[in-house]
Structure 1
Amino acid sequence: MEHLNTIEPITMAEFMPAVIRFKMDGWRVVQICANRVPDGYEMSYSFGKDYDMRTLRLTVGENETISSITQVYPGAFLQENEAAELFGVKIESIDKDYHDKLYRIARETPFKQKG
């Protein structure tokens, strides 16, 4: 039996409707990963159901703000706080926003610099 494992590029306008659809269809959020790209960030939101996994891949400009998914998936607050604090991703309306106090780190947004 084959299992689904996809990475699906998505636009900002498609993002929240897709997240809501995943929730309504019984998918759980598995991980949120931030990665630095030349003009901003690549955000990967992975969702699992049974043995299937689908990852939404969203490219976010350095000064662009994205909406938190914590209103749909409350447990996403830790990973969103991590992306904001370590990478500098601008995520608005995180339910349980730690305001850059999740980690004890020596410098602000240590993974933000361009590599």
Structure 2
Amino acid sequence: MRQRRRSNMTDGEIKVITPDSLLNETMKLHEEGWRLVQICARALKDGEGNEITYSFGDELILGNLRLTVKPDEPLNSISHIYPTAYFYENEMHDLFGIDVQMMTVDFGGHFYKIGAETPFKK
């Protein structure tokens, strides 16, 4: 078993952060050897914006970073830290209208063929 370089994040923990701290928090986890597992967005009621959960794995430990973005508030991409994040980020843009900035691969709103613009945006 490898020596852990883990932060003090516990299994199943959800650490609430601000959009401004996303890059720093993500970089720390990357440097400690955490893998990106998934990014999940959900629309908040009454057009208050979106809640985004970033999940990271370290062996059998799953830790999460959660933040809220207001409508039309830009969010920095983490795809330069975790290259596969661009899949999730393009999805968040197309389905929820989240303004993800500086994606390494940006499909320009054409990641999905959908019948309505940003169908999950409330």
- Give the TM-score band, short-chain normalised: over 0.9
Q: % of aligned pairs identical?
A: 39
Aligned to 1:110: 119
What residue number does 1:29 align with?
A: 36
- Cα distance in 2 for residues equivalent to 1:4 and 1:34: 21
Asked whether 1:89 is paired with 2:92, we answer no
Any unmatched runs of 5+ in structure 2? 1-9
Structure (1 or 2) with the greater strand fraction: 1
1-side partners of 2:104 and 2:16: how far apart?
25
Report SS of the residue matched to 1:42.
strand
What are structure 1's unaligned runs of at least 5 residues? none
Aligned-pair Cα RMSD in Å: 1.0
Residue 63 (1) aligns with residue 72 (2): yes
Offset of 1:95 from its aligned partner? 0.7
Structure 1 residue runs of 4 or more that deviate by more than 6 Å after TM superposition:
none
TM-score, scaled relative to structure 1: 0.93
Residue 8 of structure 1 deviates from its aligned partner by 1.1
Q: 1:9 aligns with which of 16, 22, 38?
A: 16
- Work out the CA distance in 1 between the residues paired with 2:42 and 2:98: 10
Aligned partners of 2:20, 2:58: CA distance in 1, in Å?
Answer: 24
Q: Which amino acid aligns with 2:54?
A: Y
CA distance in 2, matches of 1:60, 1:16: 14
Query: How far did 1:99 drift?
Result: 0.7
Q: What amino acid maps onto 2:110 in structure 1?
A: K
**Following TM superposition, by how much is the alpha carbon of 1:50 offset from its aligned partner in structure 2, in angstroms?**
0.2
Aligned length: 111
Q: Give the letter for the 1:42 counterpart.
A: E
**Hey, what's the Cα distance between the residues in 1 that align with 2:20 and 2:112?**
31
TM normalised by structure 2 equals 0.87
